Structure 1
């Protein structure tokens, strides 16, 4: 089932199929067919372009669809903007509300930058409603401390807190994972993971913040992000913390 918001929310083939039909003024439904190469592997865009040329079929990439929708639609609305004093230092706070589900996402900014200038950026999956302000002002968090130490070492940086979807669903999922870890003798809260494809909201926030070239603060290594070109984003460096 496609997520509401389409490719601006999640860069999946399901969302692309529904968006494409909807933009054509048709019933928002589609059939997804995987085209295989002769060796049995799944065909990627370069091979699909050859198939389209051979059979004279029009083709649109997910990146093309994202770029079009970025010009005409937005799933975020700026709700708050002020300077906040945290235990990590002073930042410019911008709070965005998602139009598809009213979730609130928070950006903390340090310094100023020009368009096209690389900015050290951390995109963090979190439960924003779970006392995020308390975490920023009072409650200790070693992981966040290391992230903010790296961000504060730069003249310009940005921290984006992406509020995860269904709070109850996420909590139940993490409780189940915690139970499994505890049975193995590990008493540690599991990390909040974000679907690699579910970064469309963060991309729109970065676009609003005039960030296009990202020095990504991460310890997860290099991860290929589908649709980066369509969002107008480029990861120019991976920075460990």
Structure 2
């Protein structure tokens, strides 16, 4: 995506996006900003593959057509202004706000969260402008294409993992609450409880005789009924526990009930827990050899190998 801070928007930048990037011009923002402007979700049930949190599109209340670069810029400036309110906009329109998840890239490694995090880190209004880049032939630009685009237009290039790495190095989002020894599946283990910046609790079960490279299994907390009635999920958990009993390692129960189901994109909190425990290299236990745990390397963790059970 092409990205800039809404605070610095100009008609020229909007026109550049429309002409050179060609994608949909969107304005990622925090949930707090969207609520203040009463920007309702575009749909009640978001079933898109990426679960991008679109709100109803907007124009300024004074717009004539709303589609010109100047009028779209006016709308972007109002969205970024702390003085604007609901009555400054009409719905629908030609600018598409997106709501970033609380916690930013440490919860979801998406362009929506990355662009808002950049604005926040720079001390600007937490509203960005992004646009997908489409090639002359109408297909999406990929990494090699973006390298050429960057050079042609003298732009900077940043990865989401760069933002993740910076935030992890400069922010502490998890705090250990307590530690105790418990009986777990017939053996003694250490139970460590953490809380995060969203007041969710996560639990680590530490199996003794762990190796230098920790065997790690992430498990999203679900209801007892859901676990017991999902044979595949239950079997995967039991297999992982038996493996960890024999080989040592960490079983991390993540409270993900309040965030989206995109499991591969939401290991920021788990990564911070591992860093808090001093873990840098892991053997990742999974039930699916094709599962890609996107962005773990961006959290400063080396995945030495995947263990498929």
Question: What do you get for the CA RMSD once the two structures are aligned?
Answer: 2.4
Residues 1:194 and 1:89: Cα distance change in structure 2 (over 3 Å): farther
Distance, in Å, in 2 between the alignment partners of 1:146 and 1:225 is 20
CA contact (8 A) 1:88 1:145 kept: no
CA contact (8 A) 2:204 2:253 kept: yes
Residues 1:218 and 1:232: Cα distance change in structure 2 (over 3 Å): same
Partner of 2:219: 124
Partner of 1:75: 173
Normalised to the residue count of structure 1, the TM-score between the two structures is: 0.75
Distance, in Å, in 2 between the alignment partners of 1:216 and 1:73 is 25
1:35 aligns with 2:133: yes
Greater Cα radius of gyration, structure 1 or 2: 2
Alignment of 1:1-241 (within 5 A): 1-38=99-136, 40-100=138-198, 102-111=199-208, 117-127=212-222, 130=223, 142-154=235-247, 156-166=248-258, 195-241=263-309
Instruction: Name the structure, 1 or 2, with higher relative contact order (CA <8 Å, separation 6+).
Output: 1
Residues 1:16 and 1:126: Cα distance change in structure 2 (over 3 Å): same
Q: Secondary structure at the match of 2:114?
A: helix
Distance, in Å, in 2 between the alignment partners of 1:215 and 1:44 is 30
CA contact (8 A) 2:236 2:287 kept: no
CA apart distance, 1:113: 5.9
Q: Secondary structure at the match of 2:100?
A: coil
CA offsets 1:123-164 (integer angstroms, 9 cap, x no match): 00113xx57xxx9xxxxx65433211111121x311000112
Normalised to the residue count of structure 2, the TM-score between the two structures is: 0.60
Aligned length: 203
Residues 1:70 and 1:35: Cα distance change in structure 2 (over 3 Å): same
* Long gaps (5+) in structure 2: 1-98, 229-233
